[in-house]
A and B are shown apart, each in its own frame.
Chain A
Amino acid sequence: MFSGHSAVGRRLAHGCSALAGAALAASGIGGLSGGTLTVAHIRGALPFTDILLRVTEFSAFFLLVIGIVGLAATIYAAGYVKEYEGRKSVPLLQAGMLLFIAAMAGVVMAGNVFTFLLAWEVMSVVSYFLVMYEHERPGTKRAGFVYAVMTHIGTVFLTIAFFILRHYSGSFEFARMEQASLPASAQSLVFVLALIGFGTKAGLVPLHIWLPRAHPAAPSHISALMSGVMLKTAVYGFLLFTLHLLQPGPVWWGVAVLALGANTALFGVLHALGEVDKKRMLAYSSIENMGILFMGIGAALIFLAAGQKAAAAFALAAVLVHAANHALFKSLLFMGAGAVLKAAHTANMNRLGGLIRRMPWTALFMLAGALAMAAMPPLNGFVGEWRLFQSLFALGFDGPATLLRLAGALAVAALALVGALAAFLSVRLFAMTFLALPRSEEAREAREASLSMRIAMGLLAASCVAAGVLPLVFAGAVQNTLERIAGFSGASSMLEVSPLAIAGADSEIAPAAAGLLLLCGLAAAWALARAIGGKTRTVRGETWNCGEPLEPRMTYTASGFSKPIRVAFQRLLLPSRVLYVDRDPRTPYFARGFTYTGQLPALVENLLYKPAMNLLVAGARLFRGIQNGVVQSYLLYLLATLVLILVWRIWR
């Protein structure tokens, strides 16, 4: 189907892929309504290599997300891939994208271990190839490599976890594993393995190193899929383990996850503020959001351990809703970044600016995305953030133990800090790209994105708003999802409120009304101004710049904008700062020019991974010496082995 190089063929291809995305979304909605239904069951050559696909409400929720984003991505691709035509094989990219989407769907639909691992690995491999799509670009090779290795090692942990479960349940089918009861130690072991395995995929610090490399390297709509959806499969998997396959565990599970999440979120947002490359910045922000999600999961686990089902249900609802929201706005932002990248040929925000006049539509949609990322009412980001705050407040209000309440309070503080910094981030993202004056020739020449790209972004932006003012868009889905999870059927009913309002553990709000209120406020503002002031004129004038005419190079850059953060957190981030002053020897007191570079070093890599890697390589070099090329020594090894085994046999 993708062999068609003709325009018609391409159209057809795009059309079909869009249909595929839509179908997925539809199946998600469909799955939400009905109970578990088995999609396919193929017998394998050996025992336990059957392929089993089924849809539960739980997976249907994620299917829905995959479907919506997938649909948008497929539409977006139609315009975006034009950039590659002639240089690279577009059909390959398209096929890869569809396979990627299919694999992610497969992960959430998998009904047994073999299928899950199969889909999981296919997802990883395909995304690896998609990351490597522009492998000529510097850094891509390394990015792809780090990604592939990290995710593969993560998978090994998962595999072992699954096998331990298999050992106790005696079956590879999830449905049967759920009934099994493990000894506490095994439970915790599986939990830790799953946390590492899925944490790698989710980019929890310090397992995140692949994420800020791989996501920017991929083509933008792929980055959107990876950040928006693929990370969510990690959430799905972790929830699958903690809620379905394992019995409720000890409290420390929740605490560990909460701490890890908070740590990750803070790390992510701070590094995002340190980045000037837009896509890297978004990737770090994805890390932040995954951190937030895991905070929510942690709270839920704590409540579960304490048997507070209702609170746990609220926390889970928060997690699911925020997961969906993040999928929407992050993919929107990545697509916007892609549009800008395509138009201005740079993702470096220091070289952008003023694009709002060149690309008004993209700007509008990006604004929606930025507002959502900053969790501003009345957009969807706020709904998720609010739910999360509620569940953490709940932990603070009536957590099982005083220390846990305090942990809740600290989590609230962390979430607040992260949220505020995220707002900072969004302002920086939007303002430095679209506002003020263009800081480079490319930016001055930028062109508005093509229609299909605008449609895709518009779709996502619209759904961001919709999910913001009408939370019931997801609330219903969350309902069913929680119903599916053992023991929540009662608790989740508390989530039920009037279609316009959403409930937290201890409070409820009506986002729609809030939105309306805002609109009234706007109207009132206009009316007041008009009533009091009457009609007045507006004249265009120069910006006050101490009498100088304003030039682009005078305007603030992204690096400068987030400088205060770098200074305030320097103990934490150890930013590197190089100031080069170009002095004229004749007039030593006046410098010709300054070049300033400030950036954040990748601490985790430098302190953790690089040394380990070097050690490994050095060890390998040393060990390699035993094959010294002397045949006699090989014979000696042979003899030694023989003798050793003989001795072993005798002394036992």
Chain B
Amino acid sequence: MRDILFELLQLVVIVLIAPLVTGFIKKTKALLQGRRGPRVLQPYYDLYKYMRKDAVVSKASSWIFTATPYVVFGATLAAAALVPVFMRDSLFSFTGDLVLLVYLFALARFFIAMAGVDTGSSFGAQGASREMFVSSLAEPALFVTLLAAALPAGTTHLSSIVAHAAERGWPTSPVFYMMVVAFAILVIAETGRIPVDNPDTHLELTMIHEGPILEYSGKSLALLQWSASIKQVLLFALLADLCFPWGLAASADGPAVLAGLAVFAVKMAAIGVIVSCVEMSTAKMRLFKVPRLLGAALVLSLFALTAEYLM
């Protein structure tokens, strides 16, 4: 009973702190760039504001456009229920594994892309096309990395992977870090950050992720942005789970969970800092340079895998 409660808490935490992470990254970026930047809590204010605003919906669009934000949020939420964050087990771990997780994100992307086309705006369609393009190039690398990560546990079941990895202790092989790098690249691609995409721009010709949601406003926009930040947290958490799976509460008792929470916060912060460093130190790539980056990720993960086989 208690663990169910805690696992529910896990889900709630993810949903709630997601905007915070976004704000944190923005802030750190600003500081690193020597600006004051917005408040850390700014995203919350934004969301609240959007929620209360009336929405303008394109005449050209259909019910797909209206439904999309809810589907996306729903899918992201479902994904959130699968990922252990500060406990080894997650609420709905029995429902699915890594594959389901990936495909839930894919589902969200699917609808975002369609909504982008639905408005009839060529920016939306362009963005949709690029979104699908980048993601389809990221997918193979992602899966190989997951395979590499899941290999020691011999299962694609997240909780068991985490548990197994936690037992395993600190990995020494350099191979392991190849995998980490590969996965990091993928996380950046999936979250739509520099150098693959720039979340803060609305410069028409360069947007990828922002394109499809260009037409959104009001509640819908709020939901979309919220789920975007949730997805980001989830991916960070996943990175943490697969690469540094320590400090997660093995059992559902208060102290352990608190410890887990603390560790989780630290992890998020660390990743956030790293990400913002990357963002301020590199420039966005041309679209057709992206395949090389992702290819590199694939190669890295394959190396990692081969090495693991040979050891």
Contact = CB atoms under 8 A, between A and B. Distances in A.
- Asked whether any CB of A lies within 8 Å of a CB of B in the complex, the reply is yes
Interface of A: 354, 356-357, 371, 374-377, 382, 385-386, 389-390, 393, 396-398, 402, 405-406, 409-410, 412-417, 419-421, 423-424, 426-427, 430-432, 434-437, 501, 504, 506-507, 509-510, 513-514, 517-526, 528-529, 532-534, 536-545, 550, 554-556, 560-565, 567-568
A400 to B, nearest CB: 12
A151 to B, nearest CB: 33
Looking at B123, B156, B287, the one whose CB has the most chain A CB atoms below 10 A away is B156
B215 A544 contact: yes
A539 B54 contact: yes
Contacts of A528: 73, 223
Given A393-B156, A417-B140, A536 B218 contact: yes
A424 B132 contact: yes
Contact of A532 (B48, B100, B120): B48
Contact of A426 (B64, B103, B110, B155): B110
B196 interface: no
Looking at B48, B76, B97, B214, the one whose CB has the most chain A CB atoms below 10 A away is B97
A412 B150 CA distance: 13
B203 interface: no
A517 B79 CA distance: 9
Nearest to A538: B55
Given A374-B110, A517-B95, A556-B125, A525 B58 contact: no
Contacts of A522: 70-71, 73-74
Contacts of B71: 522
Given A529-B219, A533-B219, A541-B58, A514 B100 contact: yes
Of the four ranges (under 10, 10 to 19, 20 to 34, 35 or more), the interface on chain B belongs to 35 or more
Contact of B77 (A416, A524, A543): A524
Contact of A539 (B56, B74, B154, B219): B56
B104 A432 contact: no
Contact of A506 (B76, B96, B155): B155
Contacts of B137: 417, 420, 568
Contact of B121 (A532, A540, A545): A545
B306 interface: yes
B310 A402 contact: yes
Contacts of B121: 543-545, 550
Contacts of B166: none
B164 interface: no
Interface string B85-128: 00000001011110110011011011001100111111101101
B98 to A, nearest CB: 8
A596 B129 CA distance: 19
B291 interface: yes
Contacts of A402: 309-310
Interface string B145-156: 001001100111
B30 interface: no
A536 B219 contact: yes
A611 B13 CA distance: 65
A517 B51 CA distance: 24
B59 interface: yes
Contacts of A504: 156
B237 interface: no
A390 B100 CA distance: 11
A554 B139 CA distance: 31
Given A356-B62, A540-B57, A568-B137, A412 B147 contact: yes
A566 to B, nearest CB: 11
Nearest to A522: B74
Interface of B: 47-48, 50-64, 69-71, 73-78, 81, 92, 94-97, 99-100, 103-104, 106-107, 109-110, 113-114, 117-123, 125-126, 128-130, 132-133, 135-144, 147, 150-151, 154-157, 214-215, 218-219, 222-223, 287-288, 291, 298, 302, 305-306, 309-310
Contacts of A543: 58-61, 119-121, 215
Given A518-B74, A521-B78, A555-B125, 20 more contacts: A377-B100, A377-B103, A417-B137, A420-B137, A427-B132, A431-B128, A435-B114, A437-B120, A506-B157, A517-B78, A520-B78, A522-B71, A533-B219, A536-B52, A538-B56, A540-B57, A540-B59, A541-B59, A550-B121, A565-B136
A435 B55 contact: no
Given A357-B62, A402-B309, A540-B59, A396 B219 contact: no
A293 B302 CA distance: 24
A430 B114 contact: yes
A416 B120 contact: no
B74 A538 contact: no
Dominant secondary structure at the B interface:
helix
A423 B73 contact: no
Given A377-B104, A542-B59, A412 B96 contact: no
A426 B113 CA distance: 11
A413 B106 contact: no
Looking at B47, B78, B118, the one whose CB has the most chain A CB atoms below 10 A away is B78
Contact of B136 (A376, A424, A524): A424
Given A376-B106, A525-B223, A427 B58 contact: no
Contacts of B309: 402, 405-406
8 contacts: A390-B99, A410-B302, A432-B117, A514-B96, A517-B95, A556-B129, A560-B125, A565-B133
Contacts of A396: 147, 151, 305
A506 B129 CA distance: 35
Contacts of A501: 94
Contacts of B143: 389, 412-413, 415-416
B139 A419 contact: yes
Contacts of B156: 389-390, 393, 504, 506-507
Looking at A431, A506, A519, the one whose CB has the most chain B CB atoms below 10 A away is A431
A529 B110 contact: no
A555 B124 CA distance: 10
Contacts of B306: 406
Contacts of A374: 106, 110
Nearest to B115: A435
A393 B150 contact: yes
A568 B156 CA distance: 31
A363 B47 CA distance: 33
A402 to B, nearest CB: 5
Top 3 A-B residue pairs of the complex, sorted by shortest distance between their CB atoms: A521-B74, A533-B51, A556-B125
Looking at A430, A521, A532, A539, the one whose CB has the most chain B CB atoms below 10 A away is A521
A510 B94 contact: yes
B146 to A, nearest CB: 9
Contact of A398 (B73, B74, B78, B154): B154
B117 A423 contact: no
Contacts of A385: 99, 103
Looking at B59, B69, B74, B135, the one whose CB has the most chain A CB atoms below 10 A away is B74
A525 B222 CA distance: 11
A56 B234 CA distance: 48
Contacts of B78: 514, 517-518, 520-521
A376 B113 CA distance: 14
Contacts of A534: 51-52
Nearest to B309: A402
A609 to B, nearest CB: 30
Looking at B50, B71, B143, B144, the one whose CB has the most chain A CB atoms below 10 A away is B143
